[in-house]
Structure 1
Amino acid sequence: MHIVADANMPGLEPFAAMGAVTRVEGRNLTRQQLGDADVLLVRSVTRVDAALLAGSRVRFVGSATIGTDHVDLTYLQQQGIRFAHAPGCNARAVAEYVLQAVLLLCQAGNRSPRGASVAVVGLGNVGHRVADWLADLGMQVRACDPPLAEQGYSGPYRLESLDAILDADLITLHVPLTDRGDHATRHLLDADRLARLSASQMLINTCRGPVIDNQALLASLQAGQGPATILDVWESEPRVPPSLFEQVLLGSPHIAGYSAEGKLKGSQMLYLAFCDWLGVTAAPAPQAARNGIIRQAVANEEDLLRVLQVAYRLAVDHQALGNSLGAAEPATAFDRLRKEYPVRHELHDWCHQGEIAAPWQRIMRRLFARD
């Protein structure tokens, strides 16, 4: 069996035990590079459709990602090609990123997150975890997810329309990118909705760049009327407009979910689906070892931020992305940042020691729980 896989995917050893694995650069993968592959494993940068697969031997496609907007699911179904992806694989990593982003935005605005309102747009695997964590941080969570509302959602959050929650102190986006249907999300925050936001508000996007109209956001920020913004995703990826980068508080190269554990979990989820497709027993997943001990008392937001920054510093990625914009080929440099991304572990790989004041105990339990 011949398996073609994105070079950025870790944890392919179980696949290698079942066939020959060829690693490729995912963004520019061509039909010719697929050759006689039976299996294709990708990430979000590879467009999987008839143009790539027509005439190939591929019968199984796996995407180690939450979203599926890069995959023509209808074509795969028509061709009888099995598809698997990894919903929720990096939910914890994204939640840690968002929590740090919230603290940094509040720090920059000389305000506390406790008691502030947050609009969580999209209550999937990532969004629901973010909502739970921000509620434990002491924020007043408001939520929006029209498809979930239509399915009869009965969870802990009251669902509202997007227009109803645009007055929240913070808006964080966690929706898939869709172009069709009653709840399409491309330019969900368009010029009209962005015009309703003020400089006293905060905005975070870690899902897909085109969910925000980036040109309208740029105009709003340049006019001094837009919200304090942190972007991990960009509409024109892998090209990041320097003008927009200069206007955001912090920006990163689509790595919010790039923890070692999240990427490995994505590969493991595909491996389980692959074994199910073949009708064979999957080998057990290896157990990760803990990194060590974090000794830090937590009495306020600054202490909590210090704990988060033991594992990850958003400002480091901001600087790296800013430096890449001066490269001869910024788009190539953007992809290189992702390909050569340093190992980043989730906080539950550490043990915490230190006194925790009552207001911070719930969120600290979340951060270090192995779930």
Structure 2
Amino acid sequence: MHTQKPKVLVTRNIPKEGLTELFEKCEVDYHDSNEVIPKEELYERVKDIDGLLAVFTKVNEEFLSHAPKLRVISNYGVGYDNIDVAATGRRGIIVTNTPDVVTEATAELAFGLMLAVTRRIAEADRILRFKKPYRWGPMAMLGTELVGKTLGIIGFGRIGRAVARRAQASGMKVIYFQRNPRDMSRDLEDNCYYRSLDALLSESDVISIHVPLTEETRHLIGENELSKMKKGSYLINTSRGPVVDEEALVKALESGHLAGAGLDVFEREPKIHPRLLELENTVLTPHIGTSTIETRIEMARMAAQDLIDGLEGKHPRHIVVFFGEKKKGVSS
């Protein structure tokens, strides 16, 4: 007996190497473009779908009203602030994401930004490319060493811990803040120590942010928090742009209170605060934290498998919302 395959929409082009099983088991509408599907076209394409592989797709009440058959949303990414989970929960729609697989790539970029801004690598590159010929001198282009410095990590989940390992290998002391302090024995084992947020701000030479975007974390780092940071310290953000008050950050950088910032995310992405672009003491990247071919393929595979499992009535491995219940243990 022939069983009709469930209909699935993939909203952006992602590596097909990770979607082999999805194409075998589902009728797939694959949007083979890096451009966002225009709203009217999107709503037409979702009217009969059972599953959605959402690649930075905004899913809200309006979207859901055009997708009455939708049962499972697999989000291509860890952060799922693009999805109204309250609205999906009311409709009994399963929502999944792709944790774990993005850990190492994001941690690498965070540490890369740290090195680039403290050693002024991007600034030096710009000098050679666009300015007058550079003349070496013993006091020219002085940066800051990481060895012996204190790294403060805000959000000590998978990515935060991966950054900590890289920092320790470079001779840094690591302290961290998260909403729920860990057992002290784990701190001793990892040689990473809990601090209150205020203590972390005042003790750290470099701060790296690794929290999800929620109402509680929006502008977690604002004018007040920036003022508590050490003069001459650095801020790294590879989490979500709105976690940092960008206007307050610009002022702290312009005044010299902060020595620099490495940012992969921005408050009004894809727009970037124009004064950030003018500052020499910033290293800016266009949200490339997970942009490695290895990670992209594995994200596609993971997102596809969770979508298939949900559509087949199985329990997907990486559930965020299951019939309105938010996954327990979601941590920053």
TM-score of the alignment, normalized to the shorter chain, above 0.5: yes
Contact 1:85-1:270 within 8 A present in 2 as well? yes
CA offsets per residue over residues 71-123 of structure 1, 9 Å max, x none?
12222222111211111221111111122222223323523211110001111
CA change 1:154–1:65 in 2 (3 A) is: farther
1:245 maps to which of 268, 277, 281: 277
The alpha carbon displacement at 1:178 in A equals 0.5
Given that residues 197 and 227 in structure 1 are in contact (C-alpha distance below 8 angstroms), is that contact kept between their aligned partners in structure 2? no
Q: Residue 100 of structure 2 aligns with which residue?
A: 88
Shift of 1:153: 7.3
Query: Gapped runs of 5+ residues in structure 1?
Result: 282-371
The whole-number CA distance in structure 1 between the counterparts of 2:13 and 2:70 is 20
Change (3 A) 1:64 1:15: same
Partner residue in 1 for 2:194: 159
Q: Distance in 2 between matches of 1:15 and 1:267?
A: 10
Aligned partner of residue 118 in structure 1, secondary structure: strand
Specify the SS of the correspondent of 2:152: strand
1:1-371 correspondence to structure 2 within 5 Å: 1-10=6-15, 11-24=18-31, 25-26=35-36, 29=39, 30-43=42-55, 45-56=56-67, 57-108=69-120, 110-146=143-179, 148-149=180-181, 155=186, 156=190, 157-167=192-202, 168-179=204-215, 184-247=216-279, 248-279=281-312
How many angstroms does 1:67 deviate by?
Answer: 1.2
Quickly say closer, same or farther: Cα 1:194–1:27, change in 2 above 3 A.
farther
* Identical columns (%): 29
Take 2:249 and 2:44, find their aligned partners in 1: how far apart are those partners?
A: 39
1:20: how far off? 2.6
Is contact 1:187-1:212 (8 Å) kept? yes
2:25 aligned counterpart, secondary structure: coil
Counterpart amino acid of 2:273? Answer: P
2-structure distance, mates of 1:280, 1:200: 54
Q: Give the distance between the partners of 2:64 and 2:12, measured in 1 at CA.
A: 19
CA offset at residue 139 of structure 1? 0.7
- How far apart, CA to CA, are the structure 1 residues paired with 2:220 and 2:156? 15
Paired amino acid for 1:9? I
C-alpha change, 1:80 and 1:121, in structure 2 (3 Å) is same
Q: TM-score, normalised by structure 1?
A: 0.69
**Residues 137-160 of structure 1: CA deviation (Å, up to 9, x unaligned):** 2110000111x32x7575333221
In the alignment, the residues of structure 2 paired with residue 27 and residue 226 of structure 1 have an alpha-carbon distance, to the nearest angstrom, of: 40
Give structure 2 stretches of 5+ with no counterpart.
Answer: 1-5, 121-141, 315-332
Code of the aligned partner of 1:83: V
Match of 1:362 in 2: none
Q: TM-score, normalised by structure 2?
A: 0.76
- Provide Cα deviations, 1:242-286, integer angstroms capped at 9, x if missing partner: 2222224210111121111112221221222223224499xxxxx
Q: Quick one: distance in 1 between partners of 2:23 and 2:118? A: 46
Give the distance between the partners of 1:122 and 1:133, measured in 2 at CA.
Answer: 16
Structure of larger gyration radius: 2
Q: For the structure 1 residues 98 and 6, does the alpha-carbon distance in structure 2 shift closer, same or farther, using more than 3 Å as the test?
A: same
Aligned AA for 1:269?
A: M
* Post-superposition offset of 1:28: 5.0
Q: 1:198·1:227 contact (CA, 8 Å) conserved in 2?
A: no
Task: Give the residue type in structure 1 aligned to 2:213.
Answer: L
User: Matched residues in 1 for 2:183 and 2:79: separation?
Assistant: 22
CA displacement at 1:12 relative to structure 2: 2.5
Tell me whether 209-218 or 87-96 shows the greater mean CA deviation: 87-96
Residues 323-362 of structure 1: per-residue CA shift (max 9 Å, x gap):
xxxxxxxxxxxxxxxxxxxxxxxxxxxxxxxxxxxxxxxx
Residue number in structure 2 paired with 1:323? none
Q: How well do the aligned residues superpose, as a CA RMSD in angstroms? A: 2.2
- Relative to structure 1, is the Cα distance of residues 190 and 243 closer, same or farther in structure 2, using a 3 angstrom cutoff? same
TM-superposed deviation, 1:238: 1.3
Q: C-alpha distance in 2, partners of 1:65/1:246?
A: 30
Q: Distance in 2 between matches of 1:20 and 1:139?
A: 51
